[in-house]
Amino acid sequence: MAETVDTTLVYMRIRRRIEERIERGIYPTGSMIPSENELAEEFGTTRLTIRSAVDELVRRGQIRRVRGKGTFVAQKVPAIFERTGGFRESVRASGGEPSVRILARSKRYAGPYYADLFGIAEDDLLYSIRRLNCINGDPVSIEMALIPCLLFPTIEEIDVSVFSLYETYEMLGRKPVMAQEKLDIEALGARDAGLLGLEQGDLALTLECVSYDASGQAIEYVKSFNRGDAGGYTYTY
């Protein structure tokens, strides 16, 4: 298992290096990146590891494979930016009063998708927290967070209804410094709609966010459902 985790961490670091080169314009949009053989030689690893890193970038739409020609930068990488804090910090910064209610806490296996995201084994555990976020007493979002127990083995000992998750990560030695976000719109189910004071089928703004520490390690995945009519809070980046 340790060997699998080590291999996965290597390809994640390589993937991030390629992303950084795209961000800096070293690999401009529309340009062809080096071949798998060239990258394997540069990074001192195998073609299989390079292919894993490139496959992830292809799945994200950041690069595109063209049969018989090579692999090209398809677009700029999604916005990755410095985060000033989590929900509570951002709300207070905009003059509101935040409150958080824990709806559920549990553990689950990572499975293939989250194992790939966090660089852990599929049977490693994730700590799952579901929360209702309010501003000035009014519900504004429902948030589901997944955190690798391997990275935060003592996270259950901290009361996350008192401390924010970002404060918790920092207390446990992994301060979040970057995040990658994706926005979408989804219809709410009956349970979530009721918690937000809306009707089943009403549309909510969804936000998927992956937070990273200073080493580039993904430490948190969050998906939230947000009321579009209740204002919001601001990230500075």
Least confident of 43-47, 68-72, 220-224: 68-72
pLDDT digits (tens, 9 = 90+) for 157-177: 887 777 788 888 988 999 898
The string of pLDDT tens digits covering residues 101-131 is 899 999 999 999 999 999 999 999 999 999 9
Task: State which CATH number among 3.40.50.720, 3.40.605.10, 3.40.1410.10, 3.30.2020.30 fits the domain covering 87-227.
Answer: 3.40.1410.10
Q: What CATH architecture is 7-73?
A: Orthogonal Bundle (1.10)
Task: Give pLDDT, residue 13.
Answer: 84
Segments of the chain assigned to CATH 1.10.10.10: 7-73
Q: Walk across the sheet containing 218-226 and list its strands.
A: 80-82, 178-187, 203-212, 218-226, 138-148, 125-135, 98-109
Winning range, highest mean pLDDT, from 1-10, 69-78, 116-125: 116-125
Write out the residue limits of the CATH 3.40.1410.10 domain(s) in the chain: 87-227
Full-prediction pTM beyond 0.85?
no
Q: Where are the alpha helices (DSSP H) in 73-146?
A: 87-93, 111-118
Mean pLDDT lowest among 28-42, 88-102, 126-140, 142-156: 88-102
pLDDT band with cut points at 50, 70 and 90 for residue 230: low
Looking at residue 232, its pLDDT comes to: 45
Local structure of 196: helix, strand or coil: coil
pLDDT reported for residue 77: 43
Q: Which of 73-82, 112-121, 171-180, 210-219 has the lowest mean pLDDT?
A: 73-82
What's the confidence (pLDDT) of residue 78?
Answer: 43
Separation CA 97–CA 91 (nearest Å): 7
**Region of 75 on the Ramachandran plot (φ > 0 left; ψ -120 to 50 alpha; else beta):** beta
For the segment 228-236, the average pLDDT, to the nearest whole number, is: 50
Hey, which residues does 138 pair with through a beta bridge? 135
The helix/strand/coil state of 51 is helix
Q: In which residue are the tokens 């709806």 written?
A: 103
The answer to whether residues 208 and 181 touch, using CB atoms and an 8 Å cutoff, is: yes
* Residue 89 predicted with pLDDT over 80: no
